[in-house]
Amino acid sequence: MVIDDDRLLCDTVRHGLDGQGVQVLTAHSGAEGLRLCAQRTVDVVLLDQKLPDGDGIRFCQPLLEHNESIKIIFITAYPSFENAVQAIKVGAYDYLSKPFALGELNLAVRQALRTLDLEHVAQVQHFQRRRESDRAVLVGRLPEVRRLVALAAANAAPVLITGETGTGKTLVAKAIHFQGQGADKAFIAVNCAAIPENLMEAELFGYEKGAFTGAAATVKGLFEMADGGTLFLDEIGEMPPHLQSKLLGALDDQQIRRLGGRTLNPVHARIITATNADLAAAVRERRFREDLYYRLGVMHIPLPPLRERLEDLPELCRSFLSQITPDQPVRLAIEEIEALRAYPWPGNVRELRNILERSVLVRASTAIQPSCLLGTAICNQTPINRANAAISIPRTLEQVEREHILATLRHFNGNQTHAAKALGISRSTLVRKLKCLGLNGTAP
């Protein structure tokens, strides 16, 4: 938006910026500009210093009150140092003196829009970080793990997290990061097993332009990107030996040298590592440096497998089910939780989450009760357990239908409309079936 009583200038700006993906609004007084700002979303304002209804500076504050991210470019025919200082003091973004060339105007507007874009990206990142920190919450009792996470968050020592797959190692690493001092800085996760060995060094430590063929520009490594925050090295056991030494050096000196670089750059990233392999055995077999092992494990957080903390099953189920369908969380019956207890959970918490997700999804489309699906999911994986013992008892179709209808009604607290919908039949069909099965009037 251009706010200037000089109509010719307004038209010139409009034509000058036209066709550049910029839409130009014009106002000829401060009051008109404020009115327009209240009706439209304005990104950049070109504000004249001398307006019919007062000094342009007077309107800076009210414009910013409408929208604090507006970028105000002050334009004046009487440029002076004092003027410029005053404009910046009241929140102007830039300053142009009249007459200005179109190129100059273009540049100022582009820069203002770019700053807006960057602010927007920063806002999105901030929002995503908040979302992620919300999700980095441990469910279950885990008293020892919680104590160690709090302790780790309170200092910057390296942390080694061990545990089987799906026990929550990545989650614990995030919890430490978001509870710690660097929570508003980056959390950068690297899976050492997923990066080809020849690229890992450049990824981690960065490189200077010309360091190798194809290094067309200087690039920061993940270590530097995580400065002030956390570098999470997952599957650390897979790190090749020559990088193990370089990592140890970086940890000891708190500085790194980019590939092809001459200088050392200071980095203060907290290092969290994780593995589901037996790192101690790797040390014994000389596949992993012993000194690095002790350096990384200043704090060690072992995570128990799910089968060793079955008391957390009900709470984990409740938490996952309410995340999967927040509007109408499915509740599991005690027998269903009992069936889950009988399973050895080789995939730990991740597997539990997946099974629940799958059962809710299938249930939504074909009206299968979670109990059935949990039963089949588990039956497919374990030869004998209590869950499939119950299912394999021969029963008539009528018995199965009767139990299924009752269970569905029970699930919906007797609400026939909801139960019929979940069963994939009309309410009148349900009423008819209830009658045939001698169940009409039965409180489920």
Ligand X SMILES: Nc1ncnc2c1ncn2[C@@H]1O[C@H](COP(=O)(O)OP(=O)(O)OP(=O)(O)O)[C@@H](O)[C@H]1O
Q: Which residues of the shown chain bind ligand X in the complex (CB under 6 A)?
A: 138-140, 163, 165-171, 276, 349-350, 353
Name the H helices within 287-396: 290-296, 313-324, 334-341, 348-366, 370-379, 386-392
Which residue's CB is nearer to ligand X, number 139 or number 391? 139
Contact (CB, 8 A) for 55 and 87: no
Q: Using CB atoms, what's the residue nearest to ligand X?
A: 168
Which residue's CB is nearer to ligand X, number 164 or number 208? 164
Least Å distance between CB 168 and ligand X? Answer: 3
Least Å distance between CB 87 and ligand X? Answer: 50
Which residue's CB is nearer to ligand X, number 277 or number 407? 277
Contact (CB, 8 A) for 173 and 303: no
Least Å distance between CB 167 and ligand X? Answer: 5
Contact (CB, 8 A) for 169 and 163: yes
Q: How many CA atoms lie within 13 A of 61 on its CB side?
A: 6
49 binds, among ligand X, Mg ion, none (CB under 5 to 8 A by kind): none
108 binds, among Mg ion, ligand X, none (CB under 5 to 8 A by kind): none
What are the structure tokens assigned to 151, written together?
């302790």
Q: Using CB atoms, what's the residue nearest to Mg ion?
A: 170
- CA–CA separation, 359 and 425 (whole Å): 20
What are the structure tokens assigned to 341, written together?
């207890």
Contacts of residue 210, defined as CB under 8 A and 6 or more positions apart, other chains included, come to 260
Which residue's CB is nearer to Mg ion, number 170 or number 369? 170
Least Å distance between CB 140 and ligand X? Answer: 5
166 binds, among ligand X, Mg ion, none (CB under 5 to 8 A by kind): ligand X
Which residue's CB is nearer to Mg ion, number 162 or number 369? 162
Which residue's CB is nearer to ligand X, number 36 or number 151? 151
Least Å distance between CB 20 and ligand X? Answer: 46
| Neighbouring-strand partners of residue 438 | none
Which residue's CB is nearer to ligand X, number 33 or number 297? 297
Q: Which of 160, 156, 144, 162 is CA-nearest to residue 180?
A: 156
180 binds, among Mg ion, ligand X, none (CB under 5 to 8 A by kind): none
Least Å distance between CB 234 and Mg ion? Answer: 5
Least Å distance between CB 349 and ligand X? Answer: 4
206 binds, among ligand X, Mg ion, none (CB under 5 to 8 A by kind): none
Q: What b/e readout covers 334-370, taking b as 16+ CB neighbours within 10 angstroms?
A: eebeebbbebebebbbbbbbebbeebbebbeeebbbb
